Chains A and B, each alone.
Chain A
Amino acid sequence: MPQLDTDLAAVGAGLDALDAPSQERRPSIGKRFVRTAVPPLIAFALLLGVWQALWAMALWPEYQLPSPASVWAAVAEAIQTGRAFEVLWTSVSRAVLGFLTAVVIATPLGLLIAKVRVVRAAIGSLLTGLQSLPSVAWVPAGILWFGATPATIYFVVLMGSVPSIANGLVSGVDQIPPLLPRVGQALGASRLAAARHILLPAALPGYLAGLKQGWAFSWRSLMAAEIIATSPQLGEGLGQYLHNGSALNDISMVIAAIFLILLVGVGIELLVFRPLERAVLRARGLTGAL
């Protein structure tokens, strides 16, 4: 019998070696840099070239189309005086705080909508509808309710990002293979433990997509709120900086502000969400989109 047993072990080991999927190797860092960083840099350089050419042709007056150099000068000046950092800090800290609050509100809300039929029937469509409502629409109401205070700004940010995050979580939960919650039940998970150990991790890809969209919505809601609601009480964020540029008829400053707004959006996406998404999908063997 022991002889037979070792035979079985050997056959099993052989099968494992034959059947296990082969590992795909990640390309080297240099190759990955060339593949991911070079194309956007070339696109950016081309854009700059077209801009410079259009400016050089002098089709529009200088106060409508500034040169790349004068926009860069506006950015450089804002950086040198430290104003850029103050403005960026004010806005980014507001957006991050608003976004985190939205996560805290939207996560239980999304779970409730996904798992409780009555709640889904009652507010599911409303939440989806809210996503298509531009959050700028809340600014006048916010000013009437809270005055030109930070409360208005946070209110607008929340109205923008909560629906996205909750909806992302709902679709994430809806896409869980039905066998996994049953396995959880069979393994003896209580409702709460099942949510923590099975539901949430299984819904993570959808949830993450919702978070990504929620961040984008909270950032642009914040900009809308800052551009419209300006008062000395509110301090100077990126939106106010842009608003001031427009009030001063300084097109370079306006474009510099837009550039900074874009820079934050792209930066957070590349530094936070892209790596997170990659790690989550790669761990599950979903490498197709990467």
Chain B
Amino acid sequence: MSASLQQVRETAWQAFEQQGLPTTRDEDWKYTDLSRISALLGEQWWQTVEQGELDVTAADIPELDAWRMVFINGHFDSETSELPAGITVTALSALIQDDPDRSVELLEFEPDAPLSSGMTAANSALAIDGACICVSDNTKLDKPLYIQYVSNGGTSHLRTGIQLGKHAEIEVIEHFVGHHAESGLTNHVTAIRLAAGASCTHYRLQLEAAKQCHAGRVEVNQLADSSYTLHAVELGGLLSRSDVINRLNASGASCHLNGLFVLASRQHADHHTRIEHNAPHCKSRENYRAVLDGRSHGVFNGKIVVAEGAVKTDSAQSNANLLLSSNAEIDTKPELEIYNDDVKCAHGVTVGQLDKNQLFYLTTRGISEEEAKQMLTFAFADEILAKMENKAVRRFIEKEAFSKLPNITDLEGMLA
């Protein structure tokens, strides 16, 4: 291990020891108590597990035509992976061995970055694997890259880096999955850098096992006229928190953040997003929706920061929430910080139950009340899923999301 990599690790570890896990006294962590993780996993919760053996194909997305990269319990599995030629996709573990200086770039650590916490520090100190993706100028990956993070309990720290050259293009599908009954933690950081004119479509599908905790951080830095689209889906896990920091750093950059939570029983999911308009003529669109059943708890905090020089900013944010149960809870907060006058910023939040007039209308057409509720719930959530251009992913998520809600009887028909 080169000295500089070791330095990064040490700095991060010190920061982790100092910061520990955030408490609910911190405004950014008010509704999500990460200290539960040490209660669930023990004092040494951060210790990583061995790779072990797992049937990974069982977790695949049906009919998805893509390159694959598989991580089992946080370790790259070359046997089940199929990597494209022509662009550089390597495992962080291999990079650390072959070119430690380059791996430092990926693990680069800024303890003061917004929404950074001891969890991010632990990741920088302990991540031993992840995906390193470099696409050179004017190159487009012919098929999407599907990255599966499959676990059977225990803790893993993963670090993924995506760097796109000028006018490069890629679609990445990150899928977090497990079917085990153990508790565990996935601590995952993705750093994305887009050069001028680059385009990245990013699916982040959180379908962890029932007792798994999930900590995610997506940090995106964009240059001129680049575009970034995120489809963030929260279906699985017990306790999940993700932070998305999207910086529009040069003129003409645009981002679309789409989020869907479908939660039941005692699930908890929290997304804090921060879009920074740091340059003129940038555009951001953010649409988050949550369907909450049982005693589940959703948290959405969407911050838009428009810098002084970021004139002609065009920003719109909407967050809609559907509560299917009187015991479900949503805490939602849009935050706008605008430091110039020449901007267009729209935002809106709704929280509600199924519409009684719509329900009555459907039942007068012979639809049973139960089925009418399903149709309306489906329609509500599908507004986000309809934005997914990858049909195989969309179909997969529709099925996974609605199998969680009781008595969806004719999903196939609704999908038509």
Q: Do A and B bind each other?
A: no
Q: Which residues of B contact A (CB under 8 A)?
A: none
